Chains A and B, each alone.
Chain A
Amino acid sequence: MATSESIGWLGVPLAIMAGAIRGSSPFLFVSVGECLTEKSGKINLGLEGTLLMGAMSAYAVSYKSGSPWLGVLAAGLAGAGLGAMHAWLAQLPRVNDIAVGIAMFIFGSGLAFFLGDPFIQPMAPPLPAIQLGNWSSLPQIQSALKISPLLVLGIILSFALYWFFQNTRWGLFIRAVGDNPAAARAQGISVVKVRTLSIMTGSFLAGLGGASLSLVYPGSWTRLVSSGQGLMAVALVIFARWDPRRCLLASLLFGGAQAVGPALQAAGVKSYYYLFNAAPYILTLGIMIFTCSPKRSLAGAPGALGTGE
């Protein structure tokens, strides 16, 4: 990032903004997916494995078929497959959904690494970008405003999901099952069906998040392609108070915060680089400490979450 010296300190907010646009897609997809999952009353802590599986599948299929969009679809399907396993196991009696999530995290990343080894070297066709920065002559602004079509899709999804929760029958079913499964069952709603579909769809979305890692940014498949975005999904959803629209806000914030350290480093601030990397986590923790209360559960939290019901 030697170029940011030419525009001096202005490069820092610009780099953060660019980071938010570039780095927020995986956060957005996993958090919207986790939001849908948790709304139905179960936690999926295994989305890191789903994300890696999605990234690997997208890259492999894009390389083999030459079509990045087919890769995106494959990523979603791979995610949904892992989601089906999680949905089945996490709903068994006496089986803890957090433990299943961690086992799925290990299994999913193992599977992705195992199957992905042959695809570390070759170059797969990436997704095309939408160029919105041509009005500016600054190369920094031009590269910052390269929008991935997946980000656009994610933004539409986050609003659509909010509308879906508020205005549709199925949205109501999911909220009912998440808040009080016993009452939902009494209403004749199939709790297992609603949860299975919610978890699978949520994992499908997390798979798309993986595609945005390997086909957009960083834009290649390695074992280090994800920096824990999948594990952070659970924290983002709390940050967003189980509102998909606020997942967008949280994702932009986390994506931007990821860029703070490198941006400051480029501007000449060398110390505390690694502590800045922890900024989003410290921020989330701080917000939770200030907004939680031992006397009531968080506003917006589904009632059955973490109860094992």
Chain B
Amino acid sequence: MTSTATITLTAPPGAAPEPPAGRRWRTSLESVAIPAGAMLVALLLFGIFCGLAGASPFSVYYSIYRAAFGSWYAFQNTLIRAAPIMLCALCTALPMRLGLVVIGNEGALVMGGLGTVLVGAYWVSAPHYVALTAMALAGMLAGGLWILAVGAMKIYRGVNEVISSLLMNYIAIAILNHLVNGPMHDPSSLNKPSSFPVPDANALGNIPGSRVHFGLIYGIVACLITWVLIEHTSFGFKVRMIGGNLRAARIAGLPVGKISLLVCFLGGAAAGLAGMAEIAAVQGCANESLAAGYGYAGILVAFVGRQHGLGVLLVAILLGGILASGGMLQRQNHLSDATVLVFQGLVFLVILYSESLYGRFKFFQERTHGHQ
């Protein structure tokens, strides 16, 4: 477990005692320096990889920077990709705080997208904002119930949530394929079987002055709500208590089952909302492109962002940038589009490795002797 609560519990023996407030800059520095160092190491390894593949590492770095963060235009591409990732990441991050490892993000996103199409493509007479609200609610409900089922199987039947949510991904994709080839099939979609499109009147627009759709706002708001809910409310305290010590939480009389189901629902609803934004702002209709891997990216973002609302927000933007640089690497450096996958994998492997480094450097240990 990597949640912040358990990290303090599993601090290595002999760690410095809790220093007085106001003198904890070394620990704060550690939590910035280690991920930053990991990022640099990942860039270095990736540079070596690109060098071996015959591309100049510095030219590759420059391409990534330019394509991801180099200009407002480029940064908007990053943000468009970050939006579904941060919402999907919450689908793992929230249940993780309870101690449940849910990896059904892709399935919840797909179900959310299907729920959205069901409302958006068929309820065309509704006023714009009514339709959008209904679509968002349908997406959240579909995604939420999908992960709620995972939680219910865990609580009532003891079914391992990692496996069940993984299986549910495949089931969701099968349902998607069945619906877009059968009951929802639009006969005019020849090359790629798709559902009936969501009409333009029901499309999710862009944030004024940008090319970024409102899904980003959904994502940011969801991350902020998660942050406040988990870190700053008594409900969040209960959630963290269940995640930290299930038996203690039971003995304290917490309604573990109800809280777990609610948190699973919220996580699934976030991923469902990602599906809604993908349908209503990007794809326009449901087809196999809906399962584009945002769900799996979200799992990693949740772990790397330490299941923390704000951490997820930042890491999702970082990953959005990596994904956005794919085209540039192909055009400028003549590298395969799979290079982005390699880079993504490397970054996450190194950052996960860096989790083991906390408390290993003397420099970051608080010095209490001068104070006592």
Contact = CB atoms under 8 A, between A and B. Distances in A.
Nearest to A85: B349
User: How many interface residues does chain A have, given as a range?
Assistant: 35 or more
Interface string B7-22: 1001000000000000
B2 A285 contact: no
18 contacts: A93-B356, A95-B353, A96-B101, A98-B101, A98-B103, A99-B2, A102-B296, A107-B349, A110-B341, A231-B166, A234-B163, A271-B182, A278-B171, A285-B164, A288-B163, A292-B158, A292-B159, A306-B160
B338 interface: yes
A274 interface: yes
Contact of A110 (B299, B342, B356): B342
Contacts of A277: 174, 177
Given A98-B162, A285-B167, A293-B157, A106 B352 contact: no
A102 B171 contact: no
Given A234-B162, A292-B157, A100 B171 contact: no
Interface string B300-328: 10010000000000000000000000000
A228 B170 contact: yes
A113 B355 contact: no
Contact of A92 (B154, B177, B356): B356
A109 interface: yes
Contacts of A232: 170
Q: Which of A106, A271, A288 has the most CB of B within 10 A?
A: A106
Interface of B: 1-2, 7, 10, 53, 101, 103, 153-160, 162-164, 166-168, 170-171, 173-175, 177-178, 181-182, 296-297, 299-300, 303, 336, 338-346, 348-349, 352-353, 355-356, 358
B346 A275 contact: no
Nearest to B1: A308
A108 interface: yes
Interface in A267-282: 271-275, 277-278, 281-282
A46 to B, nearest CB: 9
A235 B158 CA distance: 15
Contact of B352 (A95, A271, A281, A289): A95
Nearest to A49: B345
Contacts of A296: 158
A235 B159 CA distance: 12
B41 to A, nearest CB: 14
Contacts of A92: 353, 355-356
B103 A110 contact: no
Contacts of A95: 2, 352-353, 355-356
A102 B338 contact: no
B45 to A, nearest CB: 11
Contacts of B303: 96, 99, 102
A223 to B, nearest CB: 8
Given A106-B344, A274-B174, 10 more contacts: A93-B10, A94-B2, A94-B356, A107-B344, A272-B182, A274-B182, A282-B167, A289-B153, A294-B157, A295-B158
Given A102-B300, A288-B160, A295-B158, A110 B355 contact: no
Interface of A: 43, 45, 85, 89, 92-96, 98-100, 102-111, 113-114, 117, 228, 231-232, 234-235, 238, 271-275, 277-278, 281-282, 284-285, 288-289, 292-298, 306, 308
A275 B171 CA distance: 8
Contacts of A98: 101, 103, 162
Contact of A114 (B10, B159, B336): B336
Given A100-B352, A292-B157, A107 B170 contact: no
Nearest to A112: B338
B342 A107 contact: yes
A293 B355 contact: no
A98 to B, nearest CB: 5
A117 B336 contact: yes
A85 B158 CA distance: 31
A297 B163 CA distance: 14
Contacts of B7: 94
A281 B172 CA distance: 10
A265 B288 CA distance: 20
Contacts of B170: 228, 232, 278, 281
A114 B168 contact: no
